Structure 1
Amino acid sequence: MKWTSATLNLSQVRKTFQSAGTVGKIFFILSAATLALFVLLGVGSYLQARVMTTSPVSSMKGLAASVTNQFFIDMLGMEVPHLHTDQKKFTFSQHNVFNFAFRFMTDINPRDPKSLIASEVPGMNVDKSTVLVKGSATNPSDPIDYNPNSDDLQGEAKLPQSTLATEPTPITVPATPTSSSGQPPKTAGSNIAFVYQTHSNESFLPELKGITDPDKAYSDKVNIISVGKRLAQNLEKDGIGAVHSETVYPSTVKNFEYPYSYKYSLKTLQEAMTSHSDLQYYFDIHRDSAARGKTTATIEGKDYAQVYFIIGGKNPSWKKNEEFADKIHRVLEAKHPGISKGIHAKEANEGNGLYNQNISPNNILIEVGGPYNTLEECYRTTDWLAEAISEVILNAKKVDAPLPAPKKT
């Protein structure tokens, strides 16, 4: 009996040590996981700090524009608990903090399964833009991206041609442009501006009488190309040589796919730069997808399409592109307050994120109006836009002009 009792005691001791070993292993694993989490957070914070110097969306200017009032209320709520009665909506609740940490490390939203593949599929992840420079418009809003499917792009093709509205007559450019004083304007050189339209068949519902769905406001015949053409003609009137592309990509590109539109327009840019070595300024003209109330300003009894300036945050040199856009925006604000909706930045997960702006610091994307605007309203705005662009370019040329040679004595 004593031997049996001793055996049982040894067995119990062995089990006790085994249990202790298991607990130790679990403790070690949890400790290692916790350490790894803090290391990842530290690395993430370091990388975030590095990115803040190169990304407009991560800048404090963008942060201040994007953080809601509720965020600041919840910060106060950390010290004054009665400010947040709904724990689920409390910004710093355990659930929300976990979601934030998870998204910070993985860029995946646990509440949105689509985000698992959104970064790999072009056009799936479209969020709000970041405001870099606010306009004085009384109807502030973010630009809206809409990625049409093949059926939307074919909306016009299903209608009789007689349903299309007649395009307003474009301006006529004199053979020899003159300024308002009747004298030839100061020239900025030949063919230094290039105007093109990546989303070339974006159209306007008032010009498409048979279509009422804004998602189908696309046309191969009456579209944003007319607005780009108007811009180029006005630049020519001001003595700025301009080249305009009239390529309609869905009709000319074999096996066209909308998410790859900027690859198609990049080829157009490269061909233009090869053919015109003097090109220095590039303007990609689009229209927005928002409601009329968000894209229209009434000035002195007339309706004008409003403009957004879009900067690609994926471009490493985005600040230079913003500087160029800001010069044009400021001229518009000074002369026609309310026309510009400001300068907005978009990252790769908010659109294309690059917009081919890496080819030049003077390449900007400009959205003119939306699907509910008329071409006439867009033309009115484009005349003012061209005036602002001309002033910026001519001033730049004046600054860059060589100093006159000293007079001989």
Structure 2
Amino acid sequence: MRPSEHAESAAVGRARLRIAVITGLIITLLVTVVGVVADTVMTRAQSDQVWRELRYGASRGDLSSPPVCTWLYAHGATPLANAPAGFPVRADLDRVVATGDTVERTVRRADTVYLVRTQIRADGPVVQAVFDMRFQLADRRHLWYALGVAEAVGLIAAALTGLVLGRLSVAPLAEALARQRRFVTDASHELRTPVTLVYTRAQVLARQAKAAQLPATHRDGLTRLVGSVGRLGEVLDDLLLSASLTAGPARPAERVPVDLTALARSVVDEEAERIRDSGLTVTVGGARRTLFVGGIESALRRAVGELLSNAIRHTPAGGRIEVTLTRSGSTVELTVSDTGPGFEAAEAERLFERFHRAGDGGRYGLGLALLREVVTGHGGTVAAAGRPGRGARFTIRLPECAPPPARVPASAVAAGHG
């Protein structure tokens, strides 16, 4: 399976899992709400019914043959043989005798609940009625057990629903994204060659126009054409890089130790002519030793080049750009700061959005968005900081890695064998 196909399959799997989890949570919430409502309704109905029976038994029940689950206690009456221990409640009897008021209470004993009502009957004696709630409590437990079974069935249904919805909705979306990426890649590949030819031809025509001393308007037009075609080529490169990054991160075998210090100096050297034409001063400083990070050199070169190009583009003539490399723990930091117009603090995160247009009208295109994809794909982070009129600072942080093993000269190997 190709990396892009593996990434798409993993994305579809994660989407299906999310759908199953969300569906399961919804079903769980619904079952819980239904359970709470049912338990509340059942508890209230049982309580009302039991209190009605208890009050009737206390007022009119036969002391020798009380209703089911009810025991009646009165002075001179013999309790039934199966009466629960701990009754009657003497304190309630004494209180009713003293005050004449009816007393109701709930008593928990021996893993069950008893409702107790003590009152004076119309015919004179003080009677205490006790009702055992064990059967009603068992009904409630059976209700929650049934709801638990319904919850388990619901979760299984949620998992099946997630798989079905994943196949019906997520898979076509993944296929559409894959087709879109393939179209971008194919179109970029097909356009890259003719654009390169046009760019080369435009450069030749511009040099010939300069040598032939054509009118200034013609020369300026050819110069602008060269610049426009060059920017078009950069956009195509960005699209190809974006498609390759979306297809999946580089395999470990493709990563090698990259000297970030040497790479940064090389990028600055490549931009020397542009820096000179822009009237800028660029310095590279920081660490005095080499700093290695694991990755793909071409991609990292593109990332550092984008930061430097961005700084050159937004720094006015006479400005200064500093490229600084430092080591912090096990992380290598590369910072590019400039003396340009800067940006609002609220813009910092949005700068990495594709084709973001800053408040000053500056357009950042695909570059910084792809920069973040490259850095993230290498296990790092990138952050921007700046203030209006105070310049901007972009910092890349990448995990440090060990330098490549030193190569032993062939002569030394031969001497060792000799």
TM-score relative to the length of structure 2: 0.24
| Structure with greater strand share of residues | 2
Rg larger in structure:
2
TM-score relative to the length of structure 1: 0.24
With a CA cutoff of 8 Å and minimum separation of 6, indicate the structure with the bigger relative contact order.
1
